[in-house]
Amino acid sequence: MEIRIATRKSELALWQAKHVAEKLKSVSGVSRVELVPLSTRGDEILDKSLQKIGGKGLFIKELEVAMQSGDADMAVHSMKDVPADIHDGFCIAAVLDRANPTDALVARNCTRFADLPNGAQIGSSSLRRQAQLRAMRPDLDVVPLRGNVNTRLAKLAAGEYDAIILATAGLQRLGLDQHITQSFTPEKMLPAAAQGVVGIECLEGQGDLIAILQQIEDPTSVVTTAAERAVAARLNASCQSPVASFAELDGNTLTVRALVASEDGQTIIRASISGDGSNAVALGEAAAEQLLAEGAGDLLQALDE
């Protein structure tokens, strides 16, 4: 089988697509793997927040069009960018083993988070990160930041920010982890659903392709990703909502932690639940129900309004 992989053109997206391609080349029955780099609307519009232009789904729309038109067979995504409810006719056929799921502080002069001066400007495009940063340090000036990894690092180096927050996995994958000042543990900053996970999307009817893709997926990532995305789905939250979820599998026991925050970080509702890993989706939904019982729905509705 010859496989064409639709991918965004950013350096990180291409790294992920090439990573998947190398894994597929070792699978029996795969004769050739080709990358199909595409530009997405989310990559092209950098002067507006993602909330205002349609959310992170804009990073995958063109890739799905390529699959529908027959120009590509599958697409590779950072799973944290994939909406909880994907479009009809598509499926996440496989998820790979998870890289480091944490968020990283990259600061000028290697300043630790606790040592940033009052009023320091810290850049992040994520409402989830912004809310948790404001909760930890209300004195900081948390401001929007768009662009790919290297663009964001360049803005920091140019003095536009005192510090920025990026996914640890992305920096490590690009060999840029020397820039990391410190990583936040999940206890300090809860990650986005499936952060650090690479996912593969294809059309639902491609049974032969799905069978091949499932040969390279990671069973632990399957469980944790299902639980984390179930939280967002039950809350009807977008990728840009101030919602976080993180699941850890210890033997057969799955622990799911989740939170919903107000944009200013003054209110944070948390939930935690453990159970059998075979009930991943149900556990994720149960964590979401805990959040809703504590008022998470009102927080999210206020943000939408």
Assess if residue 88 is contained within a domain: yes
Distance CA(69)–CA(92), nearest Å, equals 18
189 part of a folded domain: no
Give the integer Cα–Cα distance in Å for 222 and 285: 16
- 156 and 294 share a domain? no
On whether residue 138 sits in a domain, the answer given is yes
Report how far residue 212's alpha carbon sits from residue 165's, in angstroms, rounded to the nearest whole number: 36
- Same domain (yes/no): 91, 26: yes
Domain identity same for 155 and 274: no
What strands lie across the sheet with 32-38, from one edge to the other? 32-38, 2-8, 74-78, 198-203, 90-95
How far is it, in rounded angstroms, from Cα 217 to Cα 215? Answer: 6
pLDDT by residue (tens digit) across 157-171?
999 999 999 999 999
- What is the separation of C-alpha 208 from the centre of its chain, rounded to a whole number of angstroms? 28
Average pLDDT value for residue range 143-156:
94
- Please give the angle made by the CA atoms of 68, 226 and 277, to the nearest 5 degrees: 150
Residue 295's domain comprises 233-304
pTM attached to this predicted model: 0.91
Q: Are residues 203 and 171 in the same domain?
A: no
Q: How many C-beta neighbours within 10 Å does residue 252 have?
A: 10
pLDDT grade for 53, boundaries at 50, 70 and 90: very low
The token pair that represents 121 in the structure block: 């400007």
What pLDDT sits at residue 239?
Answer: 64
295 in the same domain as 213: no
Number of domains in the chain: 3
Same domain, 129 and 83: no
39's torsion region: left (phi>0), alpha (psi -120 to 50) or beta? Answer: beta
> Which residue is catalytic, options 43, 73, 81, 162?
81
81 is catalytic: yes
pLDDT tens per residue across span 214-237: 999 999 999 999 999 999 999 998
72 and 120 inside one domain:
no
Phi, psi (rounded to 5 degrees) for 121: -90, 125
Secondary structure (H, E, C), 45-80: CCCCCHHHHCCHHHHCHHHHHHHHHCCCCEEEEEHH
Tokens found for residue 137: 């340090």
| 165 and 275 part of one domain | no
225 in a structural domain: no
Is 58 contained in some domain?
yes
Domain for residue 44, yes or no? Answer: yes
Domain containing residue 172: CATH number: 3.40.190.10
Average pLDDT, the chain: 92
Give pLDDT tens digits for 167-189: 999 999 999 999 999 999 999 99
Q: Is there a single domain that holds both residue 67 and residue 46?
A: yes
Residue 235 in tokens? 């809350």
Instruction: For residue 3, give the 3-state DSSP assignment.
Output: strand
pLDDT of residue 66: 96
Within-domain flag for 224: no
Phi (first) and psi of residue 147, to 5 degrees = 115, 165
- For residue 127, which of 262, 266, 299 has the smallest C-alpha distance? 262
